Amino acid sequence: MNSILEIDGNIAVLTINRPDKLNALNRETIESLHDHLSQVREDRSIRVLIITGAGTKAFVAGADIAELAHLEIEGGEDLARRGQQLLFDFVEQMPKPVIAAVNGFALGGGLELAMSCHIRYASENAKLGLPEVSLGLIPGYGGTQRLTQLVGKGKALEMITSAGMISAAEAQEWGLVNKVVAQENLLTEAKALAATIARQSPEAIAHALETVRGGFEMSQKEALNNEIKHFGACFGTEDFKEGTSAFLEKRKPEFK
Ligand code: COA
């Protein structure tokens, strides 16, 4: 299996499992991840997903270079389109938070996958970069857009044009990862955050994810109107009744 899904209560961990190739993303791996992501999306009992890489060396060392080396123009476009639909956009559009636990190299498609996740934690040994121009390519799994959103145009263009890698500490300074921890604590820390998130209203979280994401596809005016719409929709949910009642009754909410 090129990916492994483990479910523990309301938290799931999805491991990209091709360690002998540094978890490089070939078609089979992307399809396997898509199947597991679909399962997580449909399973209402799962509140938060963590994505990590097998082994201690790599999160994902990029798209599989052996697989793309012989493609021509149409095949290249098809690879990017298919990957974006099945994996990268699919992760970003999940109605529940996805945390990347970046446990080593996150290069090319690996960094693009981490950037499709909503939150990123990294281990101290992680190295991040978009080396595509060293191969005569550009990032094709959303990297030109999501890196620019996360770190701004100047830093994004420095990373993309130099094909350079940055350390986990630098990535934190850049705002590319939220937190850096020792590798042995990475999953524990990611699970602790997941547990905190899992205690909040899943319906409100889904609205928040959709509203923040939508803001990148709309004008500021449309995005603020969209926020009004989603804010209003929260008032029609069971979670809103439970959250406000629990507060007034001085008890902890229990969201179903
Ligand atoms: N695609 C296909 N195979 C990959 C790969 C990728 N993106 N990244 C690593 N691998 C494979 C290697 O070919 C090697 O396979 P082999 O043992 O069958 O020869 C195995 O994974 C281990 O990698 P190796 O290069 O020997 O490890 P290293 O520690 O010397 O170097 C990296 C680690 C990450 C610096 C190096 O593997 C690398 O530069 N990878 C490509 C990164 C990249 O350009 N990604 C963007 C792709 S668009």
CA distances from 223 to 93, 163, 220 (A): 16, 34, 5
C-alpha 235 to ligand 1 mean position (Å): 50
pLDDT tens column, 157-210: 999 999 999 999 999 999 999 999 999 999 999 999 999 999 999 999 999 999
Low-confidence ranges of the chain (pLDDT < 50): none
Tokens representing residue 12 in the block: 């799931």
Q: Give the position, in ligand 1's atom list, of the atom nearest the Cα of 139.
A: 48
C-alpha 3 to ligand 1 mean position (Å): 18
CA separation for the pair 103, 59 (Å, rounded): 5
C-alpha 181 to ligand 1 mean position (Å): 24
- Give all domains of the chain, ordered by start, each with its CATH number: 3-198 (3.90.226.10), 202-248 (1.10.12)
Q: Give the position, in ligand 1's atom list, of the atom nearest the Cα of 21.
A: 21
Model pTM greater than 0.85?
yes
Of 18, 22, 27, 133, which is best to mutate to test ligand 1, by the most ligand atoms within 8 angstroms of its C-beta? 22
Annotation marks residue 132 as catalytic: yes
C-alpha 132 to ligand 1 mean position (Å): 13
Strands (E), 26-153: 48-53, 58-60, 98-102, 105-107, 119-123, 127-129
Asked if residues 111 and 177 have their Cβ atoms less than 8 Å apart, the reply is no
Tokens representing residue 236 in the block: 């029609």
User: 182-205: string of b/e by CB count within 10 Å (b at 16+)?
Assistant: ebeebbebbbebbeebbebbbbbb
Could you tell me if the CB of 112 is within 6 A of ligand 1?
A: no
- Of 28, 92, 132, 173, catalytic: 132
Could you tell me if the CB of 106 is within 6 A of ligand 1?
A: no
Residue 14 confidence (pLDDT): 98
Q: Determine the Cα angle at 206 with ends 202 and 209, to 5°.
A: 135
CA distances from 150 to 24, 58, 114, 117, 135 (A): 23, 22, 11, 12, 24
Could you tell me if the CB of 132 is within 6 A of ligand 1?
A: yes
Annotation marks residue 112 as catalytic: yes
CA separation for the pair 97, 107 (Å, rounded): 22
